[in-house]
Structure 1
């Protein structure tokens, strides 16, 4: 018998065993990137192949039997009903993804006993422009599979734990990332939507003693509220761990409500581990938190930090932090930090706005940073983060704004940010100054795209003064770049942080 079949991925002849493919069989890659095998077999023998992708066509003459992974199948069972197969997966367990995927051709669910079969909770609709959209839900180590023809034209949401494979190959999702509403208030304050009113509070405090009493009494689900006109000097308890927000408690004030600045918690003490600690599932919102030292100086003790996140599941939003010569925020686990204004934490050698010490999934977005030595960095080189939709402002800064120490972090996603400081001041002055420094090599990957860098110099390995540098390597390693803009002229609207 003679046969011919075509697949979307490579066909590899199996050259051993009684059903080995032989010299009279051929495999070729076609101009459209598909693969075709043509062969002849008979007399009780057969030909075997390993295939990648899906089978899109099969023709044969005579009497024959097809086996797929050892099981006898029909032609209709082995030939896919479309040109491609797409699989939507989550890369973390536990994780859940409620997604939409749009194609130019009709998607057909892959059903059956496979763990990644499409489920009843997924739906497909035809759009007015004749595209098709899958509205699906997956997660917790599983996925959804569909056959389709044509192209994928949209997918969302793009999350760090979302992966899409076409014919077995993972595709780049960055073209599908959506820029947020330009009206989004970077840095919080006036215009920030998700404020907490005083009427939601279980405890309202104006003094240090009232604050300590409320934190001692509060439990999960409670809100402790610093009165909007209060300035609480926490110097007497700084460094004692007495100012610790318990598990599940929200510590809030009124920053941004009717133009309010927000209640303030401050310290005049420098030599301590931190002003405040956060337990698990804490929200810190609408406050001003300040330390005693805002000007640049070279490294030296004593040192101080503002807030240390000790527990998982914490959120810090709409908060202004400044005046800490070690770090305004120290993260010992993954944290969500958004719509904050973090500025004037500039000491040489330290001076972090946000210091990521551990955790692979910190999300830092919609913040405004000014005059920190490093606004975001993995101080240990062991953490991972996503930094997106932030504005790193001013004309000068002590050093690069975003980066990591060796060995290079885990997964580093840096996109849709604007970096304006062009001059480094302090111990190592330079102009133009570097914006991003990846010291070492990311364990997983580094993706740097859709950023607006005022520094006009393209990324480079080594320790130079380009917009992005990677010291300690001879060539850029495990870093991926795309759609960044270099220079002060205004780029397209989807590059840089949201702007009005």
Structure 2
């Protein structure tokens, strides 16, 4: 199937749509079917107060039902304002009903290890079930399902724009009081991780800088590695890999959480490719979460994903080595979620080795870049969802060109690369081939399995507040 530009916004001149009229294809969007309809209308809410698309504002939030088990989760929630499924993140078995009192009720079912996401206005007045194998999140932050309908619950959460990248104000930080073990040197960290079991919290002392040397440490299944980044404005305890050795200092097994720590290396300036190389965190197990961390200075990647994972509310920057230099690189898995992060000065902030899948949403890409910020290598990966991000850097250090591309889809995805509601500071509309447009597909003379619509091009602020990361 072939898709092209369908409905774009811009403050600049328009370009002839070289893919106008191309068919959507009968195969649809893999596990989604929305591309059989016009993409311009797909983003409209099912129900809004006035019957027209509601505009995002400081009052619009996102609610996510995230299955953590093998059975489907049937859910229902009611909101006082407009409710809208996030495109590509609701499986078509959901419905939204307007009630007689002006509220809206959403019902649906999320399959095993899946997720459904909606935006809503106002507040939640009811949610069920209150227990089960799922997590409930609002703007990416875990919320107790039994408490989400209480007025004070949502009021206590900061605006999503205030905690992009985590740090100060991040509401899901792990306090030191939750620690099973507190460590302040490499021997203590190694001993604690070797002896930890599922449910334990190994805590890096907030004042510590732990020198990893040539050690490669593994966080066992079910264990949390934490520190206090953001608590009272704290930077968080640090694990520093001063020597380039092996795969890198931190590896994970299954169901691991890494949160509130700084993981650093000294290679934080642009340099030509050379070996050896290393990564900050190598995710070697399923169901892992990396949140509220700061990662910088690695030659291969800040985060190397051998399996799908959730990476959110983190600051991943200054991993700029030419040839590699990834903020996050997806090697395995089909459902990695990357959201609410700040990226800056990586060669590629999010890349795919060519066979995995990912969703990249609600992120901010800062003003310094070595090359394109998000993309995939050949053969082209599986399903790629890239939406509601803000891409600032237009100049590439490795080429010196300005403007240069933000997104590069090398190869042809098995399913689709769906790119929508992004704010691209590069004013040049997408084009296939190896050019300098905002979105490119270098190895094709026409867009293949790439859809883009409802994006904004140019540095001028979009008039539509639903476009770009939370602001």
- Could you say whether these structures have the same fold, taking a TM-score greater than 0.5 normalized by the shorter chain as the test? yes
Aligned pair 1:437/2:408, yes or no?
Answer: yes
Aligned pair 1:342/2:316, yes or no?
Answer: yes
Counterpart CA distance in 2 for 1:280 and 1:399 is: 32
Q: Which secondary structure does the structure 2 equivalent of 1:262 belong to?
A: coil
Aligned pair 1:232/2:210, yes or no?
Answer: yes
Cα deviation 1:147-187 (Å, max 9, x = unaligned): xxxxxxxx9538xxxxxxxxxxxxxxxxxx99994444100
Question: Which residue in 2 is equivalent to 1:310?
Answer: 284
Counterpart CA distance in 1 for 2:117 and 2:207 is: 42
Aligned pair 1:189/2:161, yes or no?
Answer: no
Within 5 A, what are the aligned runs for 1:213-232? 213-232=191-210
Structure 1 residues 459 and 97, CA, compared in 2 at 3 Å: closer, same or farther?
Answer: farther
Aligned pair 1:98/2:71, yes or no?
Answer: no
Cα deviation 1:355-409 (Å, max 9, x = unaligned): 100100000000000000000000x200100000000001x31100000000111
Deviation of the 1:483 alpha carbon: 1.1
Counterpart CA distance in 2 for 1:219 and 1:178 is: 30
Query: RMSD in angstroms over aligned alpha carbons?
Result: 3.0
* Residues 76, 105 of structure 2: 8 Å contact kept: no
Deviation of the 1:97 alpha carbon: 5.3
Question: Which residue in 2 is equivalent to 1:198?
Answer: 176
Within 5 A, what are the aligned runs for 1:348-427? 348-378=322-352, 380-394=353-367, 396-426=368-398
Deviation of the 1:93 alpha carbon: 7.4
Structure 1 residues 348 and 205, CA, compared in 2 at 3 Å: closer, same or farther?
Answer: same
* Residues 411, 446 of structure 1: 8 Å contact kept: yes
Aligned residues: 356
| TM-score between the two structures when normalised by the length of structure 1 | 0.67
Cα deviation 1:297-341 (Å, max 9, x = unaligned): 111222121110000010000000000011111000000000000
Deviation of the 1:99 alpha carbon: 5.2
Whichever structure has more strand as a proportion of its residues is 1
Q: Which secondary structure does the structure 2 equivalent of 1:229 belong to?
A: coil
Runs of 5+ consecutive residues of structure 2 not aligned to the other structure:
1-65, 80-92, 120-137, 141-157
Deviation of the 1:123 alpha carbon: 11
* Residues 422, 454 of structure 2: 8 Å contact kept: yes
Question: Which residue in 2 is equivalent to 1:264?
Answer: 238
Q: Which secondary structure does the structure 1 equivalent of 2:163 belong to?
A: coil
Deviation of the 1:422 alpha carbon: 1.1
Deviation of the 1:274 alpha carbon: 1.5
Counterpart CA distance in 1 for 2:180 and 2:117 is: 38
Within 5 A, what are the aligned runs for 1:475-490? 475-490=446-461
Deviation of the 1:213 alpha carbon: 1.0
Q: Please tell me whether Structure 1 or Structure 2 has the larger radius of gyration of its CA atoms.
A: 1
Structure number with the bigger relative contact order (C-alpha 8 A, sep ≥ 6) is 2
Counterpart CA distance in 1 for 2:166 and 2:107 is: 32
Counterpart CA distance in 1 for 2:185 and 2:207 is: 11
Counterpart CA distance in 2 for 1:472 and 1:314 is: 33
Runs of 4+ in 1 over 6 A off after TM superposition: 90-93, 122-125, 177-180
Counterpart CA distance in 2 for 1:204 and 1:101 is: 42
Within 5 A, what are the aligned runs for 1:27-426? 95-96=72-73, 98=75, 126-129=99-102, 133-137=105-109, 139=111, 157=118, 181-237=159-215, 241=216, 243-378=217-352, 380-394=353-367, 396-426=368-398
Structure 1 residues 140 and 295, CA, compared in 2 at 3 Å: closer, same or farther?
Answer: closer
Deviation of the 1:216 alpha carbon: 1.3
Deviation of the 1:256 alpha carbon: 0.2
